[in-house]
Structure 1
Amino acid sequence: MWLTSAGLAIGLAMIVCILSVIFTNGIRIFWPPAVAVFELEGESSDGFSGRAAGVIAKKQFKMVHDSENRKIEEWQIFLGNREVYGTSYKFFERSSIKDIRYPRDILRLERREYGDALVFPVSLKSTNKERVLFGASGFEETFRRLVQETNERWKEVHRIEKREIGLINHKIEKLRLREKSLRRRGLFAGEQERALEEELGRLQNDYQVLADKARYLRGAQDNVCLSYRLPTGQEMELSIGKIVDFYFPNRLGMAGKWQFFFKRLGRFLTEEPREANTEGGVFPAIFGTFVMTVLMSLAVTPFGVLAAIYLREYAREGFLVRTVRVAVNNLAGVPSIVFGVFGVGFFVYFVGGTIDHLFFKDALPTPTFGTGGIMWASLTLALLTIPVVIVAAEEAIASVPRGMREGSFACGASKWQTIQRIVLPAAAPGILTGVILAMARGASEVAPLMIVGVVKLAPNLPIDGIFPFIHLERKFMHLGFHIYDLGFQSPDSDAAKPMVFATALLLITLVVVMNLGAILIREHLRKKYATGAF
């Protein structure tokens, strides 16, 4: 008794420990830390000239194997300004730091390239030679207004290029396929040819107008620049259009820090990633994970329930049924990458290739469904999780009291009517338990997705405003793969580490939220059909 209790306590402690590590490290990315200026001993040989500024990321000890075998304390400091220093993080020995100050006028810039910068602002300069010095009245308000204006222009550029120009490109592609179809059938001549050429010319004119507008907006982003001084003394300039946001970290009070926390959390959830996924948000990955999990659940639930109904209600016990049950149980132990290989071979190449040859012949040799996409990823994960649903549904159906079935038969109901109106409603809570487990496993799988449709950065979402609105053939982003990409494929592992924990925390939260929704439905059904065992 005590041994099982100890095992349970150890397991719970491990879960709490893992979740605590993920939570504390994941939430830290949204909190604004203070920025210090470090006065260093002597002259530095790596460009810091006796001074550095940054955020203390980690403190640790290292052994120096000399005659004394000394233990030296060193600090890892986030320096920013990656394009200047060549790295975002650097270790300094604690003994080399003479003094630490927290100046109120140090500025942290969130940039579109090269990560954050830690600088001392000097002035704002425009192309017409106007200049606003730091410390002058209205500097910060003017700076914030200019950053907001450039961000609005970037949103307009994004809207033009992704939506309007994207829609025109979609129409041009449809015209190209239509022309190819008419040529193949020998009908591309006369009226048809003139109509297509006129439509193509109109679309190209619209495209050029929008492209010129986007080019003008991009050019306007460089009208004003920020002049600043690095902690090491160099003076540099940066276009305002390359700045996403800014703040003075050492001026923020508790209210300001909480405001910044929620602001950055909101942007993390709603923006697209930047800088090899190490900056920006993860909205495409959230959306892709959610849509894929929903599609997987819609695919696995009916097949799993129908298989369970047949095995429990219709199939006669014998060698064949026992073999099927053993096969289903063994299928749950097959490595997930094997399902990925099957998915790319059967769903992508065979089924998708057949669909392309039957319905998208004019688009070939460019595949439409004959390449990885969110539909094939969902079906592959449905195949991966179907044993869980079958076993749970079969046990739930078996738990329905025999008296309920006999009462239904006594009232003149057929076997299918009994299953449909008596057995399935009573077994629904248990079936949903299997679906919940399938959702939890499917949403967190990565290995099979890597070869059936997931990508590092998806240019378009699977659902958008272009007809037919739901594009099941498109590739997608996934939170699990996003974590893998940040942790193992990022060019700057130290800079990517906070995003790894934040994305992991978000994935756990998303799975919990989806499962809670299913649990609420299950509890409602359990109260409604209280005679069921589940």
Structure 2
Amino acid sequence: MHINNDKKISLKQWVRSGDPFIWINAAAVSISVVAVVGLLLLLTVRGFGHFWPADVMEAKYTLPNSEGYTVAGELVETESVPLEQLLSAGFEIDSGAAFIDRMLLKQGNRDVNGADFAWVIDDYLSEKRYPSQLMTIERREWGNFYGYLQTIKQNDAVMSSADLWMDFQQRIERALLLYAKIEEIEKGNVGSINYQLERLRLSERGLALDDNVSSAARAVKMLEIESERTQYQQVYSSLQKDLASLYQQIGRDSFIAVTMDGTAVEIKFAAVVRAYQANAMGVAQKSLLYLEKFWEFLSDEPREANTEGGIFPAIFGTVMMVILMSIMVTPFGVVAAVYLREYAKQGLMTRIVRIAVNNLAGVPSIVYGVFGLGFFIYFLGSEIDEVLFSAALPAPTFGTPGLLWASLTLALLTLPVVIVATEEGLSRIPKALREGSLALGATKAETLWRVVIPMASPAMMTGLILAVARAAGEVAPLMLVGVVKLAPSLPVNGDYPYIHLDQKFMHLGFHIYDVGFQSPNVEAARPLVYATALLLVVIIALLNFSAVALRNRLREKYKALDM
């Protein structure tokens, strides 16, 4: 009995010492770290592994009671499924096993086969091989093409070549250069001219609506507008001739490739992004191609319903929206917190305001989106159009979703976070510092500006960090106030006023939603969902790390005052 009592006493002492809670907290932290690391590894492997040029398998596929045919493609995944599931799907399988292995092949050739992906049963694949001549062609439309190069045609005439593959690659490079020139003219020069012509049209209409302008002055300005329009139209005609010549050049070459079943397909070089023979490439060549494809993912525009190409417009839109949101939310949040803590009389009304601010932090984000749509776009934007852009009506300028309204909506969404964090920082500053500053002759405003606010700046940065972390990943409100599936141009360009806050934009969070749940080609979109999700996490982390570094610098700078 004495021993048992000693054990009970020691157990009670151990519990009272707090050691169990330390171990529980350590276990919880460890599980959280493992979960985060596991998530990042999953996103990395599933997402960034998509850009590796995989070998292309060719095999004979023969199901029971059917004729065999040749299949080819990249192995995407392998899984074991119950035999009953395959039998219910219409497969005739002669096997006594409870589970059957099947493989998902990216077979491409959607314009020939009708589908990019196909499930095949491993047991019925035979004569597996990896021909070095089997090529993978990434196209601007219709996805990948897998097959063998047969001939090259120039102006519909078959060309002979000593090295067919080398000639093939050179013509692809030529087509890519021509395509880049066409894109530069269409999106750069022609786009700029169209913008200037629209500006002249609005100026002309504004003169017609302005009753304060005399007839003589209106006639002079109309002549100036017409002269300027003529100059732009001349440049536009010249660019159209250049484009016609480039389109004629890029449409000159084509090639004929043969699929696994012997179908010959003629493809224009203008439709090709790149072509390679993965089975003939070494690790070093594949690594270089991997970096090229990964850079394309970061720097290019999307294509094929966002399931191919890059996501640069979404990256740019996300970062720009977060920066604008931070510029808007920080001063308002700091001013509100300073008023509540330093100027407002601490009473019932102030407590009600604080409760309201805390409650606003828990309001669903879609509610902010509806508010932004109703107040910013339909009310404020329409009023701005009436006053400043009446010449463009009835076409809206700011009375439609855009970058400015999306940033303002997210600023409202994150404002409570900044207010609460800043007010907590202000409350931690000792009262003696304020009194000492006032005793030395400083005014209350000078004390706030030179002593209190600098010392509270780390807390302000903490609020901004939390605001950025929440705003960068929001999707629901943005669907109502400015984000679109595909934006034709970036909101920043060389046309005045250079930053076009009225334009719609792309966002990584919405891009993930669109590709993952709205894509017509789910299997092709799945790797891009993982890659884009990881990239969104990385961008949020970089923005937060920048704010944390600034916060730590401010904390070190004002540490002496705190002591």
Q: TM-score range by the shorter chain?
A: over 0.9
Shift of 1:442: 0.4
Q: Cα gap change, 1:285/1:533 in structure 2, threshold over 3 Å: closer, same or farther?
A: farther
The secondary structure found in structure 2 opposite 1:515 is helix
Match of 2:72 in 1: 53
Confirm whether residue 161 of structure 1 aligns to residue 186 of structure 2: yes
Partners in 2 of 1:232 and 1:340 — Cα distance? 52
Match of 1:63 in 2: 82
- Contact kept, 8 Å, 1:337 with 1:448, in 2: the verdict is yes
The secondary structure found in structure 2 opposite 1:24 is helix
Question: How do residues 449-464 of structure 1 correspond to structure 2 at under 5 angstroms?
Answer: 449-464=478-493
Q: Cα gap change, 1:527/1:29 in structure 2, threshold over 3 Å: closer, same or farther?
A: same
Confirm whether residue 131 of structure 1 aligns to residue 152 of structure 2: no
Confirm whether residue 90 of structure 1 aligns to residue 118 of structure 2: yes
The secondary structure found in structure 1 opposite 2:157 is coil
Identity of aligned residues (%): 43
1:213 pairs with one of 242, 266, 270: 242
Moved more, 503-512 or 210-219: 210-219
Shift of 1:43: 9.3
- Contact kept, 8 Å, 1:43 with 1:50, in 2: the verdict is no
The secondary structure found in structure 2 opposite 1:90 is strand
Match of 1:113 in 2: 141
Q: Cα gap change, 1:369/1:93 in structure 2, threshold over 3 Å: closer, same or farther?
A: same
Shift of 1:197: 3.5
Partners in 2 of 1:119 and 1:69 — Cα distance? 35
Moved more, 225-234 or 8-17: 8-17
Match of 2:35 in 1: 14
Partners in 2 of 1:501 and 1:304 — Cα distance? 35
Confirm whether residue 79 of structure 1 aligns to residue 107 of structure 2: yes
Confirm whether residue 438 of structure 1 aligns to residue 463 of structure 2: no
Larger Rg: 2
Match of 1:204 in 2: 233
Shift of 1:144: 2.1
Partners in 2 of 1:24 and 1:132 — Cα distance? 43
Shift of 1:69: 7.8
1:173 pairs with one of 179, 184, 198: 198
How many pairs were matched up? 529
Question: How do residues 92-491 of structure 1 correspond to structure 2 at under 5 angstroms?
Answer: 92-127=120-155, 129=157, 131-132=159-160, 136-137=162-163, 139-185=164-210, 190-491=219-520
Shift of 1:292: 0.2
- Contact kept, 8 Å, 1:105 with 1:248, in 2: the verdict is yes
Superposition TM-score, scaled by structure 2 size: 0.90
Letter in 2 for 1:510: I
The secondary structure found in structure 2 opposite 1:337 is helix
Q: Cα gap change, 1:253/1:396 in structure 2, threshold over 3 Å: closer, same or farther?
A: same
Shift of 1:466: 0.3
Partners in 1 of 2:183 and 2:344 — Cα distance? 58
Moved more, 94-103 or 176-185: 176-185
Question: How do residues 483-502 of structure 1 correspond to structure 2 at under 5 angstroms?
Answer: 483-502=512-531
- Contact kept, 8 Å, 1:44 with 1:50, in 2: the verdict is no
Partners in 1 of 2:332 and 2:36 — Cα distance? 33
- Contact kept, 8 Å, 2:258 with 2:264, in 1: the verdict is yes
Residue by residue, what CA displacement relative to the aligned partner does 1:30-72 show, whole Å, maximum 9, x if unpaired? 2111111122126997xx9611111111111222337968321
Q: Cα gap change, 1:428/1:489 in structure 2, threshold over 3 Å: closer, same or farther?
A: same
Moved more, 143-152 or 355-364: 143-152
Shift of 1:82: 1.0
Letter in 1 for 2:166: E
- Contact kept, 8 Å, 1:118 with 1:230, in 2: the verdict is yes
Match of 2:557 in 1: 528
Match of 2:51 in 1: 30
- Contact kept, 8 Å, 1:305 with 1:389, in 2: the verdict is yes
The secondary structure found in structure 1 opposite 2:472 is helix
The secondary structure found in structure 1 opposite 2:141 is coil
Partners in 2 of 1:289 and 1:503 — Cα distance? 12
Note the residue ranges of structure 2 that are not aligned, 5 or more in a row. Answer: 1-20, 88-94
Shift of 1:486: 0.2
Moved more, 72-81 or 400-409: 400-409
Partners in 2 of 1:116 and 1:73 — Cα distance? 25
Q: Cα gap change, 1:68/1:121 in structure 2, threshold over 3 Å: closer, same or farther?
A: closer
- Contact kept, 8 Å, 1:526 with 1:532, in 2: the verdict is no
Partners in 2 of 1:215 and 1:533 — Cα distance? 70
Residue by residue, what CA displacement relative to the aligned partner does 1:81-105 show, whole Å, maximum 9, x if unpaired? 1111111111011121113211111
Shift of 1:151: 1.1
Note the residue ranges of structure 1 that are not aligned, 5 or more in a row. Answer: none
Shift of 1:531: 4.4
Partners in 2 of 1:409 and 1:91 — Cα distance? 78
Partners in 2 of 1:317 and 1:185 — Cα distance? 53
- Contact kept, 8 Å, 1:304 with 1:390, in 2: the verdict is yes
- Contact kept, 8 Å, 2:151 with 2:158, in 1: the verdict is no
Partners in 1 of 2:165 and 2:64 — Cα distance? 34
Q: Cα gap change, 1:249/1:68 in structure 2, threshold over 3 Å: closer, same or farther?
A: closer
The secondary structure found in structure 2 opposite 1:444 is coil
Partners in 1 of 2:168 and 2:238 — Cα distance? 31
Moved more, 72-81 or 403-412: 403-412
Letter in 1 for 2:145: A
The secondary structure found in structure 1 opposite 2:554 is helix
